[in-house]
A and B are shown apart, each in its own frame.
Chain A
Amino acid sequence: MKAALFSTCKYHGPALDGGWPVPGTVYSREAAQESMQLSLDQFKLADELGFDWVTVAEHHFAPFSLTPNPMVMAGALTQVVKRAKIALLGADIPILNPVRVAEEFAMLDTMTGGRVVAGMLRGTPNEYVTYNINPAESRARFEEALHLIKMAWTQTEPFGWQGRFYEYRTVSIWPRCVQAPHPKIYMSGSSPEAGEFAARNRIGLGFAVTTVPLAAKAAAHYREQARRYGWEPEPDDVIYRVGMHVGKDDNEALHDYVEATKGAAKVGLTMANRALESAIAETGYYGRDADMQRQRLMPRNLQERIDQGQILLGGPDTVMKQIESIKRELGAGVLDLTVAHQMGAKTIRSIELVGEKILPQIRHW
């Protein structure tokens, strides 16, 4: 089993609470710089401790994440992370220029000597407001953009593209990817439609902001569909993203986490603006399993989050048991461990404990 360290590069400074988008009225430039440096330092530490991947992601207009363009952060990471793979989970390709995405991934793959993992996501619903893209077109844009990106990576002759959403008269990217034919691709797989598309196109699947039971059900659907298309996903084809805080023992971990999260926002980006989320739901964004998709995004209390596999919390032995449970129920080959909350030295110690006590054990699973 592989482990990744994921950070949204959260902003640690003064900010107005709630909602989306979040105004910059009380924004601190200094705090933002320190927050970015903190994330770089944590990724560097993870690399030194033997984490298999470090992970960045795209989110907009909120202190939840200071990486609206994760490619920029990944560019910085190429100079800091010398061994681990750099995973972008991901680029929100329906709202971006696909040719630009292909170029940026190819640059990163070249700069790292082929250590890039290419997550291609639809993004959270609110992201469609960011660049004024119709959320009703999300899935169709995703599928076309992904096809175009793969073509840009693999077609050596200049080519044009007459698509449904994208039109280019000539494309011939430089540099090209180091990994042949291209970096490993993952997509978000919580909906049945996503699992079916991933299976049809032999793409890996990632689960985030969900629960282990829901992810296990979706992963089973993915594997069943893959068999229909004549292949069997490997463990590494399934990523599970989970919050994580490891302490010396259970009591310390729980105490520190509860103290640190007092007063913290209890909703993620999607549900931070309910009116907006509701409007996007009306466009059919969630697909045929909309109720379940929206349910998985609802806030849960800490005990529910632990029970449902949304956060690994405790001493190393307890966290090992939680990971065993995820492995058993979901069959994930990659755990994308999210720094659950920034607690200064305690967060650093949490990452170190994973590196020292947990990675050596799960590496052989």
Chain B
Amino acid sequence: MTNAQTIDADMLAPHIFGTGEPLLCLGFAEPTGSALLQQLSASRQIFATPAHRAVAALQTPATAKFTVLARSSEIGAALTLAAAHTDEIEALVLLAPSKAAVEENADRLAEVKVQILFLAGTLDMEGGEAATAFKRKLAASHLVYVYDAGRDMDTERPDAVAKVTQDFLTRRDKFLVSNADGRITR
């Protein structure tokens, strides 16, 4: 049994594709049509599901270690998952946070111990401000701006989002160091 198979695929969603370590993707309306998820699926097994179903699925014992990628509307759900499943969830990538997400999750942040990457589009002023506010509260987290993108960065610049996401998921904090020749492993 692979790690990925330990997640209850039936409860999660029918959108499971790709190969590799499991990546739980929240907030993607058309997962199989997402250029970002298609790129990530080359090295990750994508589990795209509505957030409420993911929360339910993760109430069951699971042995898999997995990471979570969440679009703006599901950032609260991703943080909830991370706080509740500290043994299973290793890292979060959170796209285009909102001011509301900062306010709604302020009390939860102390419980979140995983490594987090916030991505904000340079055309998305609210996202930039919210990501900055999150970064202030979570000093160990990372903030990366995706140039020339707004709140829908995953559709506007999927290559850029995939590149930084893949790098972070693979190397976590080590992603700060250039790895052009691939010498740094996780």
**A-to-B contact residues, CB < 8 Å:** 144, 147-148, 151, 155-164, 166, 169-170
Contact = CB atoms under 8 A, between A and B. Distances in A.
Contacts of B17: none
B147 A157 contact: no
A144 B146 CA distance: 11
Given A144-B147, A162-B145, A162-B160, A157 B176 contact: no
A147 B177 CA distance: 23
B147 A160 contact: no
Contact of A160 (B136, B142, B157): B142
Contacts of B39: none
A162 B132 contact: no
Nearest to A170: B176
B144 A159 contact: yes
A159 B160 CA distance: 16
Taking chain B's interface residues, is the majority helix, strand, or loop, or is none over half, making it mixed? Answer: mixed
**Residue of B132, B143, B147, B160 ringed by the most chain A CB atoms within 10 A:** B147
Given A147-B147, A161-B147, A155 B132 contact: yes
15 contacts: A155-B132, A157-B135, A159-B135, A161-B147, A162-B144, A162-B160, A162-B163, A162-B164, A163-B160, A164-B147, A164-B160, A169-B142, A169-B144, A169-B177, A170-B176
Given A144-B148, A169-B176, A160 B160 contact: no
Interface string B158-184: 001101100000000001111000000
Contacts of B176: 169-170
Given A144-B148, A169-B175, A160 B122 contact: no
Given A160-B144, A162-B119, 6 more contacts: A148-B147, A155-B132, A162-B147, A162-B160, A162-B163, A162-B164
Contacts of A164: 147-148, 160
Taking chain A's interface residues, is the majority helix, strand, or loop, or is none over half, making it mixed? Answer: mixed
A170 B147 CA distance: 14
Nearest to B164: A162
Contacts of B164: 160, 162
Contacts of A148: 147
Contacts of A147: 122, 147
A156 B177 CA distance: 21
A147 B147 CA distance: 9
A145 B119 CA distance: 19
Contacts of A159: 135, 143-145
B147 A163 contact: yes
A162 B175 contact: no
Contacts of B143: 157-160
Interface string B103-146: 00000000000000001001000000000100110000011111
Contacts of B175: 169
A314 B175 CA distance: 62
Contacts of A170: 142, 176
B36 to A, nearest CB: 13
Nearest to A166: B147
B45 to A, nearest CB: 24
Contacts of B136: 157
A162 B142 contact: no
Nearest to A143: B148
Nearest to B147: A163
Q: Sorted from nearest, which 5 A-B pairs have the closest CB atoms?
A: A160-B144, A163-B147, A169-B176, A157-B135, A162-B160
B136 to A, nearest CB: 6
A170 B141 CA distance: 11
Nearest to A151: B145
Nearest to B134: A157
A170 B140 CA distance: 12
A11 B147 CA distance: 41
A160 B135 CA distance: 12
Contacts of B142: 160, 169-170
Contacts of A163: 147-148, 160
A161 B157 CA distance: 13
Nearest to B179: A169
Contact of A162 (B135, B161, B177, B178): B161
Contacts of A155: 132
A147 B119 CA distance: 17
A144 to B, nearest CB: 6
Contacts of B146: 162
Nearest to B162: A162
Nearest to B153: A162
Contacts of B122: 147, 151
B144 A161 contact: yes
A156 B178 CA distance: 23
**Residue of B122, B160, B178 ringed by the most chain A CB atoms within 10 A:** B122
Contacts of A151: 122, 145
Contacts of B177: 169
**Residue of A144, A151, A163 ringed by the most chain B CB atoms within 10 A:** A163
A324 B31 CA distance: 65
A164 B143 CA distance: 17
Contacts of B147: 144, 147-148, 161-164, 166
